[in-house]
Amino acid sequence: MISTRTVLVLNCGSSSLKYSVVEPDSGSHLADGIIERIGAGPIADHEAALRAAFGELADAGLDLDSLGLVAVGHRVVHGGPDLYRPTIVDDALIATLEALSPLAPLHNPPAIIGIEVARKVLPDLPHVVVFDTAYFHDLPPAAAQYAIPREVSAQWNIRRYGFHGTSHRYVSEQAAEFLQAPLESLNQIVLHLGNGASASAIVGGRPQDTSMGMTPMEGLVMGTRSGDIDPGVIMYLNRTAGMSMAEVETMLNRRSGVLGLGGEIDFRLLHRRIESGSESDRAEAQLAYDVYIHRLRKYIGSYLALLGNTDVITFTAGVGENDAAVRRDALSGLAPLGIELDEHLNDSPARSPRRISFETSPTTVLVIPTDEEMAIGRACAGAIDG
Ligand code: ADP
């Protein structure tokens, strides 16, 4: 009997642990789950969360010892300037990750805790880290560099790193597969629209630009993040409004974006407010939606200019996969640029990769479900294969 190998994929936040068991060779998911409210109630810490995840797997009839696990894959948001290959964890790597934490203070520390706990609980398996920044490591300097003094960038490792790279890579490869065209032949725009949101422009499988920057705060309007903002606003809030930098950071990360403008994070609820809220709720929610779409169109337009000729635009993640109105409004009126959505295809929901543009549209528009866990599982399998 040929035994199938599986990878346990972990994504640790400060108060949640997402887990999946995937088969990298077949592409199937054996289990997906999330343990939330770490630090509250019975889930005292990340170790308790991991044990709770094992409990859920056991309840689903998945016994760890007979699962055929060959590795544990860990999603790490920031790899800094030097780490970008899927890397097998050892003590030196942990120390390097700890040194990188100031670059991603909200994201890397809980991931490191997750890795350490998982190494303790599953000491006999290789642990592999996969970085959200990896795919964008070789962005052209014109896209990666901020226009600040070079010596400041160099001293402090300031550059545009980009995030959601695992998803942009996976979705752009899936798009090529769907079109039965070599990846190398395609100019692509990928729009990853979830709670976090980012766009990328890709030429022949190599990203040329992406909307997130040194941190995941730059770019598109997101569920709770502002995206692009004049840095002058930050100084003004600090100097004149008397907000501390920590307060400004929390505001821009957690209380801004669609939530800050329209009172909801979730697009389903935002649409409901627009349709049936009180007059003032309706106006707020509409403004949030309009600002979101306006920013998205600005990025699409800039990437169309960057690419010159765009073969395919792909929507992915929670909003991109499910919200037909966002897709329609992001691309309306662009027939002169070769982008023609088929409203009927756009409005028909489906879980699998699909085209939503007319067959005659010079630029093909696709919806492709992202699968970051599978992409991480495959990267792990590749890393342990050497
Ligand atoms: P994350 O960035 O947390 O991984 P997801 O990619 O899962 O986020 O996206 C979550 C978001 O997707 C939700 O907050 C919601 O706005 C949106 N979403 C999910 N389902 C739908 C739907 N059926 N219609 C519109 N938006 C949806």
**Cα separations in angstroms, 53 against 37, 58, 109, 183:** 13, 9, 20, 37
The CATH homologous superfamily to which domain 6-131 belongs is ATPase, nucleotide binding domain (3.30.420.40)
174-189 pLDDT, tens per residue? Answer: 999 999 999 999 999 9
Tokens 């599978």, residue located: 374
Q: What percent of the chain has pLDDT over 90?
A: 94
The 3-state secondary structure of 37-63 reads CCCECCECCHHHHHHHHHHHHHHCCCC
Per-residue pLDDT, averaged over 325-353, amounts to 96
Asked whether the predicted pLDDT for residue 230 surpasses 70, the reply is: yes
Instruction: For domain 181-372, give its CATH number from 3.30.413.10, 1.10.3720.10, 3.30.420.40, 3.30.930.10.
Output: 3.30.420.40
Asked whether the predicted pLDDT for residue 114 surpasses 80, the reply is: yes
Q: How far is the CA of 39 from the centre of ligand 1 (A)?
A: 25
Does the annotation flag 18 for ligand binding?
yes
**In the chain, where does the domain assigned CATH 3.30.420.40 lie?**
6-131, 181-372
Per-residue pLDDT, averaged over 258-283, amounts to 96
Q: What percent of the chain has pLDDT over 70?
A: 99
Q: What is the pLDDT of residue 66?
A: 87
Instruction: Tokens for 39, please give them.
Output: 């630090």
4-41 pLDDT, tens per residue? Answer: 899 999 999 989 999 999 999 999 999 999 999 999 88
Q: What is the pLDDT of residue 281?
A: 95
Q: What is the pLDDT of residue 3?
A: 66
The reply to whether ligand 1 has any atom less than 6 angstroms from the CB of 303 is: no
Q: How far is the CA of 266 from the centre of ligand 1 (A)?
A: 6
CA nearest to 233, candidates 258, 252, 219: 252
Tokens 């936040």, residue located: 13
Q: How far is the CA of 81 from the centre of ligand 1 (A)?
A: 30
Asked whether the predicted pLDDT for residue 2 surpasses 70, the reply is: no
pTM value?
0.96
Asked whether the predicted pLDDT for residue 1 surpasses 70, the reply is: no
Strands (E), 262-320: 312-316
Does the annotation flag 340 for ligand binding?
no
Determine contact, residues 17/50, Cβ cutoff 8 Å: yes
The reply to whether ligand 1 has any atom less than 6 angstroms from the CB of 206 is: no
| Distance, CA of 77 to CA of 337 (rounded, Å) | 35
Does the annotation flag 193 for ligand binding?
yes
Q: What is the pLDDT of residue 105?
A: 85
Per-residue pLDDT, averaged over 207-229, amounts to 97
Q: How far is the CA of 335 from the centre of ligand 1 (A)?
A: 28
| Distance, CA of 334 to CA of 327 (rounded, Å) | 12
Q: What is the pLDDT of residue 65?
A: 86
The reply to whether ligand 1 has any atom less than 6 angstroms from the CB of 262 is: no
Asked whether the predicted pLDDT for residue 229 surpasses 50, the reply is: yes
Range of weakest confidence among 98-107, 213-222, 332-341: 98-107
Q: Exposed/middle/buried for 228, CB within 10 Å: 0-12, 13-18, 19+?
A: middle
Does the annotation flag 315 for ligand binding?
no
Per-residue pLDDT, averaged over 46-55, amounts to 95
303-335 pLDDT, tens per residue? Answer: 999 999 999 999 999 999 999 999 999 999 999
Q: Which of 9, 132, 212, 266 to mutate to test the pocket of ligand 1 (most atoms within 8 A of CB)?
A: 266
Nearest CA residue ID for atom 22, ligand 1: 322
